[in-house]
Amino acid sequence: MARPSNPLADPVRVQMRNGRLGIRFYPTGMITTAADREWLPETWSPNDPAEVEAAHAAADALRQRFMNHRAVNGVVTSGHRCIVTTRGAVGAFIQSLVTARTPTGTVNTRRNQLGRMLVEPYGEVPVERLRDFAVGVVHRLNTEPKRNGQPKQPGTIEGSMAALAVFGAWAADWYKIVDPFDGKLVSSTTAFREKSWAMVHSGDPFEDADAEESIDPDKLPTFVGISGLVDAIVRRETSRMAWHKTEGRGGKGGPRLLGLDVAVQLAESPRFIACTGVRCCEALAVHTSHVRLSTMELKVRRQLDRYQMWIPGQDPPLCPPKGGHHRTVSIWPDYGEKLAGLIKYADEHTGGWLFAPSRDQKWWADAYTKMIDRARELLRIEYAELQVLGEAPPRRDVFDTGVHWLRHFYASHALAPRSAGGLEWSVPFVQSQLGHASCRPTELIYQHIIQPERELARPTAHIWPGLKHTTHSPR
């Protein structure tokens, strides 16, 4: 259904109907298409001044009801002209994402980003005047720290600017105004603006559901690096570091220490992700009933909803996986014995949830990320100390990346040839394991050369005339 040029015009009109005055209106209070209009059953004589006045009074009363409804939903009026507030525009934009079946995580992220940047400071400002404040919005985004006082990471700033870019393009198209952020954002968001705008209007699931973070191939996690992260989590969560200065609960600062059995269970989560290829919130929603040890398969039907609290003593808040892609994941065979131990512990202590909150944290996804960051901090400090002593291992064997990179590890080793220690699975199969809508992100973003493959590489076996044949491996 094509949108009209002015969806916020007067929804009520007095006009002639079969020789009498009638009231025609749009039942939703918003201008849609002419076919949607309806008539009030009552009519009035056009020749009687009292009835003419009564018809217009009835129209004014109906119009006021529609205007009141709009005001409740973030729209204000001036006479018969409707002025959309920034609060109402952001709400309508979020609803458009929901209608376009945008993944829940993306919708919640956009709601939080735009709520913080636009609704809180400028909620009652008409959206057509938002352009007057756009420069200040972008300046604060680049200069102000996070609410906890920590500086924003470049990825956070880039994501927030992308949200402004997409919202600005949407508002300009829907309300027929000048894009408030056009020309005021960094150029790197231009491509994101075009992709996301196409997704909102075409419903193309690939642009959002499979939008994944590319990584530096030289920083692909290794077996040694992942095992080191597992060990660092155990050490960090069960002991207090002398250099730790974070303020918080637990004696001298930071979270309270965990028992060894609890720490060992949680510390295994990175290796679990590396052996299954699931996303972080999918891993945090795994229940033992979804794991089939006999066939080493995991059913992925949901993920942890990180925007709702996990109340202690209750089941976690869950939502469909990213893109709504339900799938059955093949777990690496060598992980069977370790996985059996995780299942046994979860059934006995956490109601079957494989990686449950360790300190009754209600916002478990955020707390889990902080736990990983504490372990990475420990590894960085220890690596610096070894560098001073001249005993530092190769940098690639120190896990200094995000949890998401473990999916790249899974995909790269699953696609690598058996001669290099991989599983040699086909691209379509690995695509289905990762939950991608197509093979494109699997091939273009997730497939990397693994270190054993580099070490086993050999020069061509063909003998070129005039060249001395060598069997040295490339470095």
Comparing CA positions, the residue from 274, 297, 287 lying closest to residue 342 is 287
What's the pLDDT score for residue 203?
40
Residue 281 is encoded by which pair of tokens?
């919130």
pLDDT tens column, 182-213: 887 764 444 444 444 444 444 433 333 334 44
User: For the segment 154-176, what is each residue's pLDDT rounded down to a tens digit?
Assistant: 778 888 888 898 898 888 888 77
| pLDDT for 211 | 43
- Say if residue 359's pLDDT is above 60: yes
β-bridge mates for residue 78, sequence order: 81
Q: What is the pTM of this model?
A: 0.59
Closest among 463, 426, 267, 443 to 354, alpha carbons compared: 267
Contact 446, 407 (CB under 8 A): yes
Q: At what angle do helices 427-434 and 405-415 cross, to 10 degrees?
A: 150
Which pair of structure tokens corresponds to residue 354? 């494989």
H/E stretch holding 272 reads helix 269-276
Instruction: State phi, psi for 17 to the nearest 5 degrees.
Output: -145, 110
**CA distances for 319 relative to 22, 280, 292, 433, 443, angstroms:** 49, 13, 22, 19, 27
Residue 308 vs residue 456, higher pLDDT: 308
CB atoms within 10 A of CB 231: 14
Residue given tokens 């559901």 in the structure block: 209
The one-letter amino acid at 157:
I
Residue 91 pLDDT exceeds 70: yes
Per-residue confidence band for 350, with pLDDT thresholds at 50, 70 and 90 = very high
CB 181 within 8 A of CB 138: yes
d(CA 70, CA 317): 32
Predicted pLDDT at 396:
67
CB count, 10 Å around CB of 309?
Answer: 14
Determine the Cα–Cα distance for residues 466 and 267; give it in Å rounded to an integer.
56
β-strands 20-25, 38-39 pairing: antiparallel
Q: Which of 103-107, 270-274, 303-307, 374-378 has the lowest mean pLDDT?
A: 103-107
How high is the pLDDT of residue 441?
Answer: 63
DSSP 101-114: T--HHHHHHHHHHH
- Looking at residue 5, what DSSP letter applies? S
| Averaged pLDDT of the chain | 77
Is residue 48 over pLDDT 80? yes
Mean pLDDT for the stretch of residues 229-236: 93
Give 119's contacts (C-beta < 8 A, 6+ positions apart). Answer: 86, 87, 90
Q: Bridge partners of 300?
A: 327
Is the alpha carbon torsion for 327, 330, 331, 336 positive or negative?
positive
Higher pLDDT, 456 or 180: 180
**pLDDT band with cut points at 50, 70 and 90 for residue 417:** confident
- Token pair recorded at residue 319: 């939502």
pLDDT above 90 for 467 = no
Q: What is the pLDDT of residue 216?
A: 55
In one letter, which amino acid is 221?
Answer: P
Q: Pick 303 or 98 by higher pLDDT.
A: 303
Are residues 175 and 127 in contact, defined by beta-carbon separation less than 8 angstroms? Answer: yes
CA–CA gap between residue 307 and residue 314 (Å, rounded): 16
Structure tokens at 280: 């972080």
The helix or strand, by DSSP H or E, that contains position 17, with its residue range, turns out to be strand 12-17
Range with the largest mean pLDDT of 372-381, 397-406, 407-416: 372-381
pLDDT tens digits along 288-321? 999 999 999 999 999 998 878 898 888 999 988 8
Question: Looking at residue 63, what is its pLDDT?
Answer: 80
The Cα–Cα gap between 311 and 156 comes to: 28
Lowest mean pLDDT among 73-77, 258-262, 422-426: 73-77
Alpha-carbon span 430 to 415, nearest angstrom: 7
Strands 297-300 and 291-292: antiparallel
Characterise 351 by phi-psi region: left (phi > 0), alpha (psi -120 to 50), beta (else): left
Q: Alpha-carbon distance 86 to 471, whole Å? A: 67
Distance CA 263, CA 234 (A): 5
Alpha carbon dihedral 269, 271, 275, 279, in 10-degree steps, equals: 40
pLDDT higher than 90, residue 94? no
Cβ(62)–Cβ(12) below 8 Å: yes
Whole-angstrom distance, CA of residue 275 vs CA of residue 148: 34
Ordered alpha helix ranges (H), 176-258 = 190-202, 206-209, 223-238
**Among 177-186, 207-216, 357-366, 437-446, which is the least confidently predicted range?**
207-216
